[in-house]
Structure 1
Amino acid sequence: MTNVPSVSVVILNWNGLNHLKQFLPSVCASTHPNLQIIVGDNASTDNSVQFIEANYPQIRVINNDQNYGYAGGYNEVLSQVKSDYFILLNSDVEVHPEWIQPVIQLMETDSQIAAVQPKILSYKDKHKFEYAGAAGGFLDIFGYPFCRGRIFDSVEADHGQYDDVKEIFWASGAALFVKRDKWIEVGGLDEDFFAHMEEIDLCWRLKNLGLKIMFCPDSVIYHVGGGTLNSENPFKTYLNFRNNLILIQKNRPFLHASVIIFCRLWLDLISLCKFLYDGKSRDAWAITRAHISFFKNIFKNAEKARKISTTNFNRAGLMNISIVWQYFVQQKKTFNDL
């Protein structure tokens, strides 16, 4: 037992009682021999904590005194966890009993591997990839994230086409394996993101140190998705547009970031007009608010960028293409078409 790396599966919960009831049994059936399961609670009001304490005495509960969001919530909780490996797991995920071992075995083979994600399939249709992560995340030249198995809203069926261990750019926060010492080295998640793309920012900061982010196909999970904010929520639109700009400003050299952000503002304007054309005025306003927030905090994020060294930047997974052009103009809908 002493030679087996210690692992903590950490589920951040906020009023997710129904998901806990449905998915905790599969997590508790995990077979890794040196495992601790933790639920970090973001001040829920739906009796989530009482349910866990009454039904799962083997689960450690860490209570936050308020809702710190995804990023802040995990930072608060993981500061109290001492395992060799963290697994940040969404509450709406079903797992196989042996889902942990393949990833840990991969991470143990290379000290440069900082984070890994499993294959993420849809809980609602287990033959298809799930939007949030699929078979590993990539970035295009303008900072747009996409995945093997999912580009924008086009999600592929899983036919084993991505069943190779591969270095990627970012690993999904739906099931994020990360080495504790690397988590500490980069300071965990950026709490100003609140939620959405904070895991991409974490992975980017790890890659700025020259470290690797990997995809492990031998571990498979099933994710419901949209458990906290559904895709039609304008607040999600706001977070995605704002956080994507912050992501670029923080992690690229100043001149490069400035050029990309200038281009992105025009591309965002096109998105805003499309929302208006489709009658989604709340989403259009969300983009405007995202830009206002970004510029309001531009000096704060510039200070963060100043502290991040990109000297050893690992470019693997950063693709020298425009995914917008490839997808909307050239009609390339799958990763293997790119």
Structure 2
Amino acid sequence: MTSSAPHLPSVDIIIPHFKRRDMLERCLDSLAETLYPEMGIIVVDNGGKQAGLVFMVKRYRNARLVRLEENRGYAGGCNEGLKHSDADYVVFMNDDTRHDPLWLDRLVSAALEDERTGALQPKILSLKAFEKGKQVFDYAGAAGGMIDRLGYPWALGRTFSAIEMDQGQYDNGREIFWASGVAMFVNRSLAEGLGGFDGDFFMQMEEIDLSWRMKLAGYSIRSVPSSIVLHEGGASLPGGSADKIRFNHRNNISMLMKNLGGARLLWVLPIRFLLEFAAALFYLTQFPGSLKKSGAVWRAISENIRQIPPIIKKRRAVQKMRRIRDSVIFRDSPLTLLFRY
């Protein structure tokens, strides 16, 4: 007698990890409660070389450890994990997360509804607020990533400075622009075909860049609010740190230069460089650390200028595989949310 049970796609959870072993252990404990049966876990030790880490990871079902000699950041760590996966889907995940037991079942079900699915994002709530009995969206992705026409990212449930309570206002899944790297569910073969994350980003906005390339190739990015992940936030870089400011400003401009079509880039890029200069001046008013914060923006601008030749090379590859026009991608995007909040 043959079984009539449907084939379940395999999913690997890829977790880049750096130093905070206690945080990783909490994440793995939570994943152990996930009910989806065809799940593997790939932990990428990002140059931490922690003693005993391999034995800790082996305690968990279908979990394995990949070691890197140096810290390649979130982007490089995820790319290494991707090389070691042959699953149907992968989830790029932060190690400061906790998970509803059915979070992965619901993502897989949503992916199977549409063969053009590039990436999916669960509803991401604040772990710290949840532990206090509150349902508050997490800053890093919230209910789904969006972007305005000047290239500034925001999210449903979160803008530049405001974070909303979760009252079910985004509980209908919808097309979004980008899926958060907190828990980014992607088609593995598509991610590989697009080259994975841009390793030069190191961290910050790499998931937006990959989502954008998926959209250009004609794939969809959607939210799945019935899947819930809790995120602590600020584990890698605290909000407002000079390094985080540098990565955000540098990678955002690099992303625009790679992915925008030529006509749109001609008018967006000059405006954005003017706004970058304005941001550098604004940070001079932000105490403490005003000089470091302002200097981080100037450093980002300088790095963008020095990296123009390799960015142009990447741009040619991205534009060559483009299938969708900017007018379609930005059809529902506002001009900018920068001055509204």
Q: So what's the TM-score if we normalise by structure 2?
A: 0.92
* 2:39/2:62 contact within 8 Å kept: no
Match among 270, 273, 276 for residue 278 of structure 2: 270
Alpha-carbon deviation of 1:155? 0.5
Whether 1:183 and 2:191 are equivalent positions in the alignment is yes
> 1:86–1:178: 8 Å Cα contact kept in structure 2?
yes
Aligned to 1:326: 340
Cα distance in 2 for residues equivalent to 1:283 and 1:56:
41
Conserved? CA contact 1:112–1:211, under 8 Å: yes
**C-alpha distance 307-224 of structure 1, shift in aligned 2 (>3 A):** same
Structure 2 distance, partners of 1:98, 1:164, is 17
Within 1, Cα distance between the matches of 2:48 and 2:262? 40
- Distance 1:284-1:311 versus aligned 2 partners, 3 A rule: same
Secondary structure, counterpart of 2:340 in structure 1: helix
Cα distance in 1, alignment partners of residues 316 and 221 from structure 2: 23
Quick one: distance in 2 between partners of 1:20 and 1:242? 28
CA contact (8 A) 1:93 1:224 kept: yes
In structure 2, distance between residues paired with 1:48 and 1:129: 35
Contact 2:176 2:221 survives alignment (8 Å): yes
TM-fit CA distance, 1:254: 2.5
State the alpha-carbon separation in 2 of the partners of residues 18 and 47 from structure 1.
13
Give the fraction of aligned pairs with identical amino acids, expressed as a percent: 34
Match of 1:285 in 2: 295
Question: Which one-letter code corresponds to 1:212 in the other structure?
Answer: S
**Which residue, 250, 271, 274 being the options, matches 1:242?**
250
Partner of 2:155: 147
| Range 316-325 or range 283-292, more displaced | 316-325
Give unmatched runs, 5+ long, in structure 1.
328-338
Structure 2 counterpart of 1:205, one-letter code: R
Say yes or no: does 1:205 pair with 2:205: no
Residue matched to 1:62: 66
CA 1:239–1:232 in 2, change beyond 3 Å: closer, same or farther? same
Greater shift in the superposed pair: 44-53 or 160-169: 44-53
What is the aligned partner in structure 1 of residue 142 from structure 2? Answer: 134
Return the offset for 1:260: 1.1
Match of 2:201 among 193, 218, 222: 193
Pick the aligned partner of 1:85 from 86, 89, 92: 89
Q: Which amino acid aligns with 2:56?
A: I
Q: TM-score, normalised by structure 1?
A: 0.92
Distance 2:57 2:122 in 1: 29
1:302 corresponding residue in structure 2: 312
Contact 2:58 2:64 in 1 (8 A): no
How many residues end up aligned between the 2 structures?
327
Is the aligned partner of 1:32 residue 2:36? yes
- Single out whichever of 87-96 and 60-69 deviates more from structure 2: 60-69
* CA deviation after TM superposition for structure 1 residue 7, in Å: 0.7
Q: Distance in 2 between matches of 1:317 and 1:48?
A: 51
Is contact 2:124–2:141 with CA below 8 Å preserved after alignment? yes
SS at match of 1:238: helix
Q: CA RMSD in A?
A: 1.7
One-letter amino acid matched to 1:315? I
Secondary structure of 2:338's partner?
Answer: helix
- Contact 1:168 1:317 (8 Å CA) reproduced: no
Tell me the secondary structure at the aligned position of residue 177 of structure 1.
strand
Q: Deviations over 1:94-143 (max 9, x none)?
A: 00111101111111111111100000000001210000000001110100
Amino acid at match of 1:296: R
